[in-house]
Amino acid sequence: MLFFCGGMFSVYAAPAIGSPSRPQFVQNKSVAQSLKTLDIGVLAFRGEKDARLKWHETIKYLNSKINDVHFRMQAFTLPQMRRAVAERTVAFILTNPGNYIELEAEYGVSRIVTLDSGKGNETGMRGTIGSAIVVRSDHQDLRTLSDLQNKSLMAVSKHAFGGFQVVWWALENHKIDPFSDLSRIEFAGFPQDKIAYAVINRRVDAGVLSACVLEEMIAEGKIKKGVLRVLHPQSYDYFPCKVSTRLYPDWPFSKLRSTPNNLAKRVAQALLAMPADSDASRSGGYAGWTIHMDYQPVHKLFRGLQIGPYRWMRSTNFQQLWERYRHWIVIFILSLLWGIWHMVRVEHLVALRTQQLSKVNQDLKAEMDERQKAEERVRSHQSELAHVSRISAAGELASGMAHEINQPLSAINSYAQGTAWRLQAGEMKVDELIEVHQLISRQAERAGTIIQRFRGFLRKQEIICTDIDINRAIEEAMELFSAEAQKRNVNIELHLAQRLPPVCAEMIQVEQVFLNLMRNATEAMQELDIDSRILKIYSEDNGDRVLVEFHDNGPGISDEVAAHLFDPFFTTRDEGMGLGLSISRSIVESHGGQLVLLEYGKQGLVLQASWPLYKGDDKNER
Amino acid sequence: MNAEVSVFIVDDDDSVRHSLRWLLESVKLRVETFSSAESFLQSVDTDHAGCLILDVRMPGMNGLELQQALIASTSTLPIIILTGHGDVPMAVRAMSEGAFDFVQKPFNGPQLLDRVEAAITRSKQLLEEKKTRNGLQACYAMLTPRERQVMNMIASGKANKVIAIEMGIGQRTVEVHRHRVMEKMQAHSVAELIHFYLQLQKNI
């Protein structure tokens, strides 16, 4: 035989395909060592016994036609069928259209032929699956499908195609939801005979039977004719049984995706070639097999009911959602729209405010810049003034000194010249000469005294010593320094005594000292965090001196640096002359005060300046 | 003559006064010293021949103020201002008010002496002029109003005829007035009369 010789499916030729790991090709040693045993799953909708009776001959027929494979029947319920397909323990399945559609969608099962029930009198190319809703014949209230509202209904299973789903779809088309519009729905399971009996026994108002089951039962004598009738009967000229629904294609014979096409083709050919009067068709109660039919109507039904492969639609059907949750959806959309509007508005407002703020900010910044510039101008102006006044004070001093010293110089000159002229005239007496030389000498001494005194002034500044308030000097120095302190982010805290007795010093010079100390402390703290750059300035009166202390938070200095801190030209910085502290000390000392380093450890430097109290008239020798 | 000439020194500084006296006396000048402007004004005839050596900077009345007082009393005494180092502006002011000269301390002797001698010469000259002027004024005072009028017109160079017409008097009368004027003013020529006239004008 051609198929046998050239077939892909050969026990000997394809060890990979025929590998024992493939469940559908498990070798059945009890049958024949050399033959593959392939299982054909059959839906046993009326029980396994019934199924075996019905399909035994068909399997036998296949075994007789195909010699290299041994087919074996497995009767399955719907869940068993699904599992068998999922696990591929079967090679072919024979199941109802609904089940087929599901398995087709989920596991790629494909039909190869469709059962010809023979109920059609023509080609068998039309549907033969349908349902009959049976009611007791004496139940007069039930005439149409709509009459089923609030009545009880029994069917075989929710998943049975001809046994329920076909009716479900028909009811849906009559606006009846079997799960909410009926008083009760019951699923009795196979065999369907139970349903017929339940209706007869009035346990339920109506029952769903697959097409022709009623007729078969009557033929088998299980129930009497006329006890039950079919509700809403539809008649099809080619179809001998009464049904309440339209007709769908009959059972397909399908192959699994993993089953070789070649074998499937041979099986299909064998089935199509089955004569109508064979044992197989006779015991199966069908006429034979025909070309596989179009299962679109089945699809349509499933889609309509949103079951099987269309189960997903159930959860996302907008119309249903709309019907059920209309109010909530409206509220949701409205609040969403409100939210969007609100967000857009807030965004807009934020943008607007941001713009305004940034403009205000810009203005402020410009104003601050302007203010800062003005402050800097004032500061530089003030320091210029201080400088000028210091210069002019020095000029005044020099001028005063020149004036004073001119007197003895003039006198000396006059004495000397007068003496010379007298000597020239020869009228100079010795004692006169001695006298005038003593006068000259005295004038020279006087000049020396003047210079001495001015040097004293320069050193002690007694000539410009006035009674000043040290607190005021601190505050004025602070004012001069505030711009720089701000620039360097140093916070200067003043802890001043309430009242200080006056000390004898020169304001500008004391301010100069404080400025130097502030600048030193500020520079010492540049390495610190902004928050810890704090300079504390204390002032107090201890009874005979006014004390001012500068405490900075800087890193402190070494013993060596401390030893030379007040030396002129000693500096630890690159910029600067190293004169600040030296000058400051000499200024303070010129006022009779002291400038000393109290502490210089890790806590920072403490510098103390002190001045003796001002004691009125005896302040200087002027 | 030198006996009538004095050098007055006004300075608050004793040593300066004393040394200047020593200097100037060595060249036989008569020296009088005062420690203040006030004491000078009280005791000195400001039309004395000589000169005044004046320190600008003094307690009480200072040099400039003394200068103003002397100008007010029409003193002829030349003033030599002594200035210190920073007093240049004061010296400039004194000069613009008519001081004879200024000398800056510390001065040297010969230079100062030179200025002093020049001042004394000037003083004599001024004093002479002042005396003349005083004489002229005394003569002028003796003229009648008519004679003064005629003198003014002669000084402006007008001829007798013009004077006669302008005054509405006879030419002869003009000649009589003219003669009288020449006589009273002790002028020997018209030129001298005009000179006297100008001298008088200076003082009025």
Q: What is the mean pLDDT of residues A441-447?
A: 89
pLDDT value at position A378? 75
Mean per-residue pLDDT over chain A, rounded = 81
Residue A581: is its pLDDT beyond 90? no
Confidence band for A272, pLDDT divided at 50, 70 and 90:
confident
Q: What is the mean pLDDT of residues A17-38?
A: 51
Q: What is the mean pLDDT of residues A401-405?
A: 80
CATH of the domain at A48: 3.40.190.10
Residue A567: is its pLDDT beyond 60? yes
Together in a domain, A432 and A494: no
Chain B interface, best mutation among A397, A407, A454, by max B CB count within 10 A:
A407
Confidence band for A463, pLDDT divided at 50, 70 and 90:
very low
Residue A24: is its pLDDT beyond 60? no
| Chain mean position to CA B128 | 9
Together in a domain, A469 and A551: yes
Together in a domain, A203 and A312: no
| Chain mean position to CA A326 | 33
Together in a domain, A8 and A33: yes
Together in a domain, A530 and A431: no
Least CB-CB distance to B86: which of A403, A442, A443? A403
% of chain A residues with pLDDT over 70: 83
Q: Determine, for residues A418 and B57 on separate chains, whether the beta-carbon distance falls below 8 Å.
A: no
Residue B90: is its pLDDT beyond 70? yes
Least CB-CB distance to A407: which of B13, B23, B26? B13
Helices within A189-295 (DSSP H only): 193-200, 213-220, 261-272, 279-284
Per the structure, the count of domains in chain A is 4
Confidence band for A12, pLDDT divided at 50, 70 and 90:
very low
Together in a domain, A80 and A212: no
The CA distance from A75 to A391, in Å, is 123
% of chain B residues with pLDDT over 70: 96
Residue A473: is its pLDDT beyond 70? yes
The CA distance from B21 to B31, in Å, is 6
For residue A419, give both structure tokens.
């003496």
pLDDT value at position B92? 84
Per-residue model confidence as pLDDT tens digits over A311-362: 666 655 666 667 767 888 888 888 999 999 999 999 899 999 889 888 888 8
Domain final residue, candidates A460, A495, A522: A460
Least CB-CB distance to B109: which of A413, A436, A446? A413
Together in a domain, A468 and A609: yes
Q: What is the mean pLDDT of residues A377-405?
A: 66
C-alpha dihedral over A270, A276, A282, A287, to 10 degrees? Answer: 90
Confidence band for A18, pLDDT divided at 50, 70 and 90:
very low
Least CB-CB distance to A414: which of B19, B85, B87? B19
- CB atoms inside a 10 Å sphere around CB A106: 13
pLDDT value at position A528? 85
Q: Determine, for residues B26 and A418 on separate chains, whether the beta-carbon distance falls below 8 Å.
A: yes
Confidence band for A30, pLDDT divided at 50, 70 and 90:
very low
Ramachandran angles phi, psi of B141, nearest 5°:
-65, -25
Least CB-CB distance to B23: which of A406, A409, A414? A414
Residues of A in contact with B13 (CB under 8 A): 407, 411
Confidence band for A390, pLDDT divided at 50, 70 and 90:
low
For residue A378, give both structure tokens.
């004032």
Confidence band for A27, pLDDT divided at 50, 70 and 90:
very low
Q: Which of A165, A201, A200 is nearest to A185 (CA)?
A: A165
Per-residue model confidence as pLDDT tens digits over B32-69: 999 999 999 888 887 788 999 998 888 888 888 899 88
Together in a domain, A85 and A187: no
Q: Determine, for residues A439 and B19 on separate chains, whether the beta-carbon distance falls below 8 Å.
A: yes
Q: What is the mean pLDDT of residues A230-251?
A: 83
- Find the chain A residues whose C-beta atoms sit closer than 8 A to any C-beta of B: 399, 402-403, 406-422, 425, 436, 439, 442-443, 446
Residue A125: is its pLDDT beyond 60? no
Burial label, A241 (beta-carbon count in 10 A; 0-12, 13-18, 19+): buried
Together in a domain, A222 and A262: no
Beta-bridge partners for A536: A493, A551
The CA distance from A189 to A159, in Å, is 10
Together in a domain, A326 and A453: yes
Q: Determine, for residues A409 and B106 on separate chains, whether the beta-carbon distance falls below 8 Å.
A: yes
- Find the chain B residues whose C-beta atoms sit closer than 8 A to any C-beta of A: 13, 15-16, 18-20, 22-27, 57, 82, 84-87, 105-110, 112
Least CB-CB distance to A418: which of B13, B105, B109? B109
Together in a domain, A306 and A332: no
Chain A interface, best mutation among B11, B26, B83, B87, by max A CB count within 10 A:
B26
For residue A550, give both structure tokens.
């500068």
- The answer to whether residues A537 and A549 touch, using CB atoms and an 8 Å cutoff, is yes
Q: Who has greater pLDDT, A5 or A238?
A: A238
pLDDT value at position B141? 82
Q: Determine, for residues A415 and B24 on separate chains, whether the beta-carbon distance falls below 8 Å.
A: no
Residues of B in contact with A446 (CB under 8 A): 15
Q: Determine, for residues B85 and A436 on separate chains, whether the beta-carbon distance falls below 8 Å.
A: no
Question: What's domain B2-129's architecture?
Answer: 3-Layer(aba) Sandwich (3.40)
CA distance A463 to chain B (A): 19
Residue in chain B closest to A433 (alpha carbons) equals: B22
- Give domain limits for chain B: 2-129, 143-203
Confidence band for A126, pLDDT divided at 50, 70 and 90:
low
Together in a domain, A312 and A323: no
Confidence band for A19, pLDDT divided at 50, 70 and 90:
very low
Q: What is the mean pLDDT of residues A197-210?
A: 90
Residue A392: is its pLDDT beyond 60? no
Lowest average pLDDT, out of A117-131, A153-167, A504-518, goes to A117-131
Domain final residue, candidates A444, A460, A476: A460
Q: What is the DSSP code string of A313-375?
A: HHHH-HHHHHHHHHHHHHHHHHHHHHHHHHHHHHHHHHHHHHHHHHHHHHHHHHHHHHHHHHH
Q: What is the mean pLDDT of residues B152-163?
A: 87
Q: Which of B203, B74, B200 is nearest to B143 (CA)?
A: B200
Per-residue model confidence as pLDDT tens digits over A281-307: 888 878 888 887 788 888 888 888 877
Domain assignment present for A518: yes
Least CB-CB distance to A418: which of B15, B16, B22? B22
Residues of A in contact with B105 (CB under 8 A): 406-407, 409-410
The hierarchical CATH code for the domain B143-203 is 1.10.10.10
Residue A205: is its pLDDT beyond 50? yes
Structural domain that includes position A367? 319-460
Q: What is the mean pLDDT of residues A426-450?
A: 88
Domain assignment present for A235: no
pLDDT value at position A120? 54
Q: Determine, for residues A446 and B15 on separate chains, whether the beta-carbon distance falls below 8 Å.
A: yes
Domain final residue, candidates A198, A230, A262: A230
pLDDT value at position A20? 41
For residue A247, give both structure tokens.
């007709």
Confidence band for A464, pLDDT divided at 50, 70 and 90:
low
Q: What is the mean pLDDT of residues A71-77?
A: 91
Q: What is the DSSP code string of B150-171?
A: HHHHHHTT--HHHHHHHHTS-H
pLDDT value at position A123? 46
- E strand or H helix at A75: strand A69-76
Domain assignment present for A245: no
CATH of the domain at A556: 3.30.565.10
Residue A26: is its pLDDT beyond 90? no
Lowest average pLDDT, out of A44-58, A113-127, A476-490, goes to A113-127
Residue A437: is its pLDDT beyond 80? yes
